[in-house]
Amino acid sequence: MIDEVTVEGPSVEEAIDSALDQMGVQQDAVQFEVLAEPGRGLFKGGSAPARVRVWLKPGMEFDRGVESEDELEEVQPDVDTDASAGLTDEELDAIADAGADAIRAILSSLGVEGSIDEYEGDEGEIILDITGDDLAVLIGRHGRTLDALQVIVSTITNRKLDMRYPLVVDVSGYRHRRRLKLEEIARGAADRAVRQRRSVQLRPMSSFERRVIHVVLREDKRVSTESEGAEPRRMVVVHPR
């Protein structure tokens, strides 16, 4: 159980978000102190990150909130896990190339430099991972900028090729790291819900994050999950059975 952390991040807000993830709590359960503001020109290189100290409010040690899961139909944009059936290597290459071209055009318009690495995911999806320096601007708060980039790239690619295929956009492995952290949060929420015999509510999450929570816990017979609220405050709630 983590009661206090000191965290660095590209901005004060992102540093606090990282601390909340590590502690497994919502922002209303903590107090924080800004130890250092980020340096100027953060996304141009050579600047110091923000640094914050975050600790639990008195009396919150045994009342930690955890995120809930949303409906399983809320999958990542434009992902169809059956789309790979019957496609040739040439067709798969064309999809990856179209997605990469869309990303390059967007990066150019933003004045951002980066390389694109291509991978095949566990479910056959094509992962286009943007790598380089100072790319936090492409991720945004809770990954929301990255989610928007995912939608744009998928839409452009689908229209260009007149087909849908599971294409995932990532930035320096953010989604992979985030998935591992979300899996840990989901299991911790389930354990807490069972132990305390009450529902556990997680902080608001993106559709990608909520889906991870739902998928991780759908085989856990001890709990059930559901999404509650409206965007951008939609969240997952874990209920003991």
223 token code pair: 């709990």
Do 59 and 96 share a domain, yes or no? no
Q: Convert the pLDDT of each residue in 156-204 to its tens digit.
A: 998 888 887 888 899 999 888 888 989 999 999 999 999 999 999 998 8
Quick one: DSSP state of residue 149?
Answer: H
What is the domain range of residue 2?
1-64
Q: Convert the pLDDT of each residue in 172-183 to its tens digit.
A: 998 888 889 899
Do 16 and 54 share a domain, yes or no? yes
pTM above 0.85, yes or no: no
Do 98 and 23 share a domain, yes or no? no
What mean pLDDT comes out for the span 99-112? 93
Is 74 part of any domain? no
Across 121-234, the runs of DSSP E, i.e. the strands, are 126-131, 167-171, 200-201, 223-228
Do 56 and 6 share a domain, yes or no? yes
Give the contacts of 231 (CB within 8 A, at least 6 positions apart): none
User: Would the pLDDT of 139 be above 80?
Assistant: yes
Is 217 part of any domain? no
Which among 117, 114, 147 has a CA at the least distance from the CA of 129? Answer: 117
Decide which of 141, 174, 207 is a domain's last residue.
174
Q: Convert the pLDDT of each residue in 51-98 to its tens digit.
A: 888 887 765 543 443 333 333 333 343 344 444 556 788 888 999 999
Is 127 part of any domain? yes
pLDDT at 24: 61
Quick one: DSSP state of residue 82?
Answer: T
**Structural domain total, the chain:** 2
For the chain, what is the radius of gyration of the CA atoms? 19
> Long-range pairs for 214-220 at CB < 8 Å and ≥24 separation?
214/69, 214/70, 214/71, 214/72, 214/74, 215/72, 216/182, 216/183, 216/186, 216/187, 217/69, 217/186, 217/187, 217/189, 217/190, 218/72, 220/190
User: Would the pLDDT of 8 be above 80?
Assistant: yes
pLDDT at 85: 53
What mean pLDDT comes out for the span 113-139? 88
Which among 63, 55, 68 has a CA at the least distance from the CA of 2? Answer: 55
Is 10 part of any domain? yes
- The CATH number of residue 131's host domain is 3.30.300.20
Which among 222, 164, 162, 231 has a CA at the least distance from the CA of 197? Answer: 222
The CA distance from 47 to 39, in Å, is 5
Is 130 part of any domain? yes
